[in-house]
Amino acid sequence: MTRIHSIAGLYTGQELVTRRPLRAPHHTISPSGLVGGGMLPSPGEASLAHNGVLFLDELSEFSRSALEALRQPLEDGVVTIVRRQRTVIFPTRFQLVASTNPCPCGHAGTPRCHCSDGDVARHRRKLSGPLLDRMDLLVHMPRPRSEQLEGGPTTSSAQVLEAVLGARERQAATLAGSGVPTNAALTPSLLREHVRAEAGAHALLRAAYEQGKLSARGHQRVLRVARTCADLEGSDRVLAEHVKEALALRQEDVAEGEQAA
């Protein structure tokens, strides 16, 4: 992280960077600005977010070319730039968090929305299937009721932190000696070795795949998320309920009046 930020001219200190980065580029960013490039290759936002978070607000407003350029970094964890017979490889292991409105005006499902079906279809086509397939969680947020806005939070950051730290400890114990730190980095071979899924969980996942609800890539991602759901509940085995939860967190179709995040 320190080397990357130094190359980009963002860090001139004498000590190592110890705070994970959070990068939130504007939606007008170019493909080279997002993944890196230029005559003298320099890291883009994807590399500057290495070991941290890349947040893309209003995802549908980013150019199609910029979003499609993210496909390789999301899949491989690196971006390769070739300029003047010179090849530069920058790491891009980041957590992608993105949000977008369900329609151009952002008021789908309410009387304020005047978008036509064509407007909504064009808006959603900006996000390609292969790009969405590389995201582990696709959650649609319905418009909250007034009482929900007036009520307090249902949980606290401290409670979530405690659960996540416990899950990370279980992952570290399970993956010891594998060379990967978390479930998100599991390769297909390591996934088969460490997933520890019950027969019912495999059957449910197989049925979803055979019904065409998942691609081969989506099949592996759902299984990794199910393993994480099991870790959060303190379970050594992946049960059918964990696969159901992982499938529910991967909603391919946006319902009317909902927002995708």
Residue 257: closest CA among 57, 78, 109: 109
Using an 8 Å Cβ cutoff, are 92 and 23 in contact? no
Q: Fold for domain 2-145+253-260?
A: Rossmann fold (3.40.50)
Q: Digits of tens for pLDDT over the chain (261 positions)?
A: 999 999 888 887 888 988 999 999 999 999 999 999 888 889 999 999 999 999 999 999 999 999 999 999 999 999 999 887 889 999 999 999 999 998 898 888 788 898 999 998 888 888 999 999 999 999 988 888 888 888 888 889 999 999 999 999 999 998 988 888 889 888 888 988 888 899 999 999 999 999 998 999 999 999 999 999 999 999 999 999 999 999 999 876 543 334 444
- What pLDDT is stored for residue 151 in this prediction? 84
Q: Which residues pair with 162 in a beta bridge?
A: none
If phi over 0 gives left and psi between -120 and 50 gives alpha, with beta otherwise, what is residue 103? Answer: beta
- What pLDDT is stored for residue 252 in this prediction? 62
- What pLDDT is stored for residue 144 in this prediction? 83
* Amino acid letter, residue 156: S
- What pLDDT is stored for residue 255 in this prediction? 39
Residues whose CB is less than 8 angstroms from the CB of residue 110 and which lie 6 or more positions away in sequence, other chains included: 143, 257
DSSP 219: H
Residue 168: closest CA among 183, 178, 186, 155: 183
- What pLDDT is stored for residue 254 in this prediction? 42
- What pLDDT is stored for residue 2 in this prediction? 92
- What pLDDT is stored for residue 220 in this prediction? 92
Residue bearing tokens 């990068």: 23
User: Model-level pTM?
Assistant: 0.86
d(CA 26, CA 61) in angstroms, rounded, equals: 9
d(CA 140, CA 223) in angstroms, rounded, equals: 20
User: Where exactly are the structural domains of the chain?
Assistant: 2-145+253-260, 157-248
User: Which 3 state secondary structure label does DSSP give 217?
Assistant: helix
d(CA 154, CA 238) in angstroms, rounded, equals: 26
**Exposed, middle or buried by CB within 10 Å (0-12, 13-18, 19+), for 98?**
buried
- What pLDDT is stored for residue 247 in this prediction? 95
